[in-house]
Amino acid sequence: MLRDPGGPRSFPPEEQHEVVALACHPLTELAAARTHWALRPLAEAAGTWGYLRRPVSKSTVGRWLKRAALKPHRVRRWLHSPDPDFRLKVRRVVRWYLRPPRRTHVVCVDEKTQVQILERLHPGRPASPGRPARQEEHYRRHGVLAILAGLHVGSGRVLARVRRRRSGREFLELLKALRARYPRGRLVVVLDNLSIHATPEIRAWLAAQQGRVRFEFLPLHASWLNQIEIWFSILERQALTRASDTAYRLRAARIQHFVRHWNRSARPFRWTFKGYPLSP
């Protein structure tokens, strides 16, 4: 068994910090064949390039990176927004979330499309100590559906419509249902820039509200700012991923049952993002 040529105490903190900094450096700038660091190449480079006075094992480098909460092999994706008014729009939306005026209902709306209706061909197996629940891969597809929903930011309650398709007509139906649920005061609808959100029929309905309903559009590519997306994710994990249904009406009933269950104990999401400062 190979021994570590130098344990953590053999290397001064300055050298350890140099290796951590090297791990944060993009490999593309170093004209390397790899796109990101792995432990062994990082340990070899630290010695070859003069960061350390002596060779170091990959396990020691791994301990240094762990203490620094650094994982060079991990990557998260993000979508750049080309919206020139990105920060301004973000601040407006966050202000509605955190400081809505009195007698104002802020509702986040969106659609979840292409929701598959899947029938599992074999029953799953429940979890047991040391083993997660298992789900057989084979299924039969029974079409798709769309969910149009609005989440009331102040209460966390959800109003949802399940339809076979998503269009401006279905979206207008959702808007009218939201207005009927919150008839008093002003209704602020937070939504994205999808074309079905601005059809001539919807614009006419909005004008007829005489300022009692306002659309607050999100920046481009900023769905993470829409609180209904949080709820859609919860719905997917808790009610749909493991479900087995054989027809549209069964999947629709399952979704509405979850909505009723959710609303019985709904609470607002704890929104922690406070927006960007006034100056960049």
If one compares 67 and 162, the residue with the highest pLDDT of the two is 162
Q: Taking a C-beta distance cutoff of 8 angstroms, is the pair 6, 54 a contact? A: yes
Residue 156 lies in a domain: yes
Rounded to an integer, what distance in angstroms lies between the CA atom of residue 145 and that of residue 238?
A: 18
Rounded to an integer, what distance in angstroms lies between the CA atom of residue 168 and that of residue 92?
A: 25
Per-residue model confidence (pLDDT) at position 208: 96
Per-residue model confidence (pLDDT) at position 95: 92
> Is the model's pLDDT at 2 over the cut of 70?
no
* N-to-C CA span, the chain: 54
Residue 185: which CATH number? 3.30.420.10
Q: Which of 18, 36, 67 is at the close of a domain?
A: 67
Rounded to an integer, what distance in angstroms lies between the CA atom of residue 260 and that of residue 218?
A: 28
Residue 276 lies in a domain: no
Q: Which of 201, 265, 237 has its CA nearest to residue 112?
A: 237
Exposed (0-12), middle (13-18) or buried (19+): which is 83, by Cβ within 10 Å? middle
Same-domain status, 105 and 244: yes
Tell me the residue ranges of DSSP E strands in 56-183. 104-120, 139-152, 158-163
> Is the model's pLDDT at 257 over the cut of 60?
yes
Same-domain status, 205 and 117: yes
263 Cβ partners below 8 Å, 6+ apart? 157, 158
Q: Domain residues for 118?
A: 86-264
Which two structure tokens, joined as six digits, stand for 128?
A: 């047991």
Same-domain status, 28 and 162: no
What is the value of pTM for the model shown?
0.76
pLDDT tens digits, 71-97: 888 877 777 778 788 888 888 999 999
208 Cβ partners below 8 Å, 6+ apart? none
Residue 56 lies in a domain: yes
Q: Tell me which DSSP letter residue 224 carries.
A: G
Please tell me the least confidently modeled range out of 25-39, 115-129, 131-145.
25-39
Per-residue model confidence (pLDDT) at position 31: 55
Same-domain status, 121 and 151: yes
Which two structure tokens, joined as six digits, stand for 250?
A: 């069964």
Same-domain status, 211 and 146: yes
Same-domain status, 154 and 259: yes
Same-domain status, 118 and 155: yes
Residue 75 lies in a domain: no
DSSP 207-240: HHTTTSEEEEEPPTT-GGG-HHHHHHHHHIIIII
Amino acid at 122: H
Same-domain status, 118 and 30: no
Q: Which of 125, 96, 111 has its CA nearest to residue 232?
A: 111
With the CA atoms of 5, 8, 12 and 16 taken in that order, what torsion angle do they form, in degrees rounded to the nearest 10? Answer: 100
Same-domain status, 91 and 60: no
Q: Tell me which DSSP letter residue 221 carries.
A: T
Question: What's the total number of domains in the chain?
Answer: 2
Same-domain status, 125 and 178: yes
Instruction: Return mean pLDDT, the chain.
Output: 88
Residue 273 lies in a domain: no
Q: Taking a C-beta distance cutoff of 8 angstroms, is the pair 147, 174 a contact? A: no
The whole-number average pLDDT for the span 229-249 is 96
